[in-house]
Structure 1
């Protein structure tokens, strides 16, 4: 009888040992995951915080946040970007960056006049080609001097003549690095997005 009881208890003790090991493994695996999650949450930008959108290389302010992405106000326009594309900037980094810009501008041989930002886009719709190109030229100069990295030029769809004139003027322009048609949800054929050279 005793030997039979011993044999019957052996599987039970083995099961208990296995259960204890499973609990230990679960505790070990769940704790690091929770720590990692909290670390990631600590790195997420907050509303009103200044960030850099890495894909656009542009700085803006966080206006809305969801689980996977955020809405950023860059100048006069708003864009949506994934959390992985956002780089947080502390106030110290911002002040240091502005100091470096001032120092580099004052130390350079060519002194450019300081210019306030003209906004991220210019609207040329309804203008004759000549007037539109004059307006665009003045805008691009202001945008370049204020240090904007990219701008939106709204020429509308229409017959396509103004769009053609705008893109011909941008081709080989001193301030322009490259340009492309906007995405469908951002204006498509009616808008040209131009990337500016660094000041």
Structure 2
């Protein structure tokens, strides 16, 4: 499809930009290490206290952590301030991705970018590329399934794209998950992330047993490496 080709091209360009930015960051760290090694040597020769040396090492570690963090925000410096970046986006919000000329649902938010579900595809887009839908059907669907229980309080807004069950006993966790799944389904979310953690695996097993054959669930799978791996289960929801 033409849309898929456009998405692949943009993703390739994004990866190239990130690789370049990361290489620049690694060079900065190398220079920093060299400078700090020289400074440490000077401090030792001057009989400075070890606390001063440790403080410098801690600063270096913090700099390395910043380099390891996502470097997409480097791209934003070239674009200047943007009202799209300043705007507070919400999980589950329907948006237009201007660079793709496509509509999708926000499924994850970062400091300078967002993950957007476009049909069956999941892409990353800069916040500056997002545009709020201005159409009359901007509101999330309140009733996707007409046969839902009449006692259910139909949601006018998304409950969020994930639910965290860590720290709960299996019974309490499953109750919380069930309430969340119902809200997510009625809000029309395409999929959800269920965070159960790794631990002994008992809660993970209980969650997946509950999802197997669940009335709202089309399929489920283990989260990807960037989603939490075996500590997360991603469930695709039915559309009615």
The 5 A counterparts of 1:29-178 are: 48=84, 50-51=95-96, 58-60=104-106, 71-72=113-114, 81=123, 91-92=133-134, 94-95=135-136, 97-98=137-138, 113-115=153-155, 116-178=157-219
- Give per-residue Cα distances to partners, 1:87-138, cap 9 Å, x unaligned: 987745x32x348958xx59x6877743132111111111111111011001
List runs of 5+ in structure 2 lacking aligned partners. 1-81, 86-94, 117-121
Query: What is the CA-CA distance between 1:60 and the residue it aligns to?
Result: 2.7
Output the CA distance in 1 between the equivalents of 2:211 and 2:227. Answer: 20
The 5 A counterparts of 1:186-197 are: 186-197=227-238
List runs of 5+ in structure 1 lacking aligned partners. 1-45, 75-79
Output the CA distance in 2 between the equivalents of 1:154 and 1:143. Answer: 15
Structure 1 residues 64 and 48, CA, compared in 2 at 3 Å: closer, same or farther?
farther
* Alignment-derived partner of residue 24 in structure 1: none
Output the CA distance in 2 between the equivalents of 1:99 and 1:125. Answer: 31
- The normalised TM-score by structure 1 is 0.53
Structure 1 residues 58 and 176, CA, compared in 2 at 3 Å: closer, same or farther?
farther
SS in 1 for 2:84: coil
Output the CA distance in 2 between the equivalents of 1:132 and 1:64. Answer: 27
The CA RMSD measured in Å over matched residues stands at: 3.9
Contact 1:71 1:81 in 2 (8 A): no
Contact 1:113 1:145 in 2 (8 A): no
- The normalised TM-score by structure 2 is 0.45
Higher strand proportion, which one?
1
